[in-house]
Each structure stands twice: as C-alpha cells, then as structure tokens.
Amino acid sequence: MMNVVEVYFCFFFFISIMKMMMSEKIIFILMSMEMMMMSIYFFFFMFYKDWFTSSILNIIFLSFMVCESVLGLGAYIYLSRLSGKDEFKSLNLLK
C-alpha cells in the first residue's frame, strides 16, 4: 500500500504532465517541465536518501536540471523574438 508521500509525488507529477499538455503558452510548458524534474528529484531524495545524498548522481541530476531550464529559456526567448508571440499553437516551425 502506498503511503501519503508516494501518493503526493505521483499526483504532483501527473498534474504537471496534465498542465503541460493543456497549456498554450510556452512559458507554462517550461515551468511544468521544471516542476516534473523537481518532483523526480524529490522522489529520489525521499526514497533513496542514504544512497542519493552521498553519490555523485545528486550533482549530475541537479546539473542536468539547470542545463535543461537554461536551454528551455533560451529557446523561449529565441521563439518569442522570432515570431513575436509566446503561444505554442500559433507557432509554425515549418517556415
């Protein structure tokens, strides 16, 4: 049987996925992706506390999260300057 923390992380992860799928703005999609990464990080931290805090995997995962968010914001700035809009459905990438 799942405890309350496991249910919370699963719920938070799936809510982030649902928000990302239903969003029209690129910035909300990027924020949802960052929240998913944070929930995965906290999941690893809660359930693999002894192993995760003492290993290099913790630093690698945090570095991956930072690189992902920086690349996402860079792409967001590029697309918003290119098209003048920040809506995902209005972009036509086949131009």
Residue-level pLDDT at 84: 77
Report pLDDT digits (tens) over 70-92. Answer: 998 898 888 888 877 777 665 55
Tokens of 4: 């309350």
**Nearest Cα to Cα of residue 47 among 2, 14, 11:** 2
Q: Convert 45-79 into a string of H (helix), E (strand) and C (coil).
A: HHHCHHHHHHCCHHHHHHHHHHHHHHHHHHHHHHH
Report how far residue 4's alpha carbon sits from residue 24's, in angstroms, rounded to the nearest whole number. Answer: 32
Residue-level pLDDT at 91: 54
Residue-level pLDDT at 21: 74
Tokens of 16: 């982030």
Where in the chain are the domains?
Answer: 4-83
Report pLDDT digits (tens) over 14-68. Answer: 877 777 777 777 788 888 888 888 888 887 777 777 777 777 888 888 899 899 8
CATH of domain 4-83: 1.10.287
Spell out the long-range contacts of 5-8 with Cβ–Cβ below 8 A and sequence spacing 24 or more: 5/46
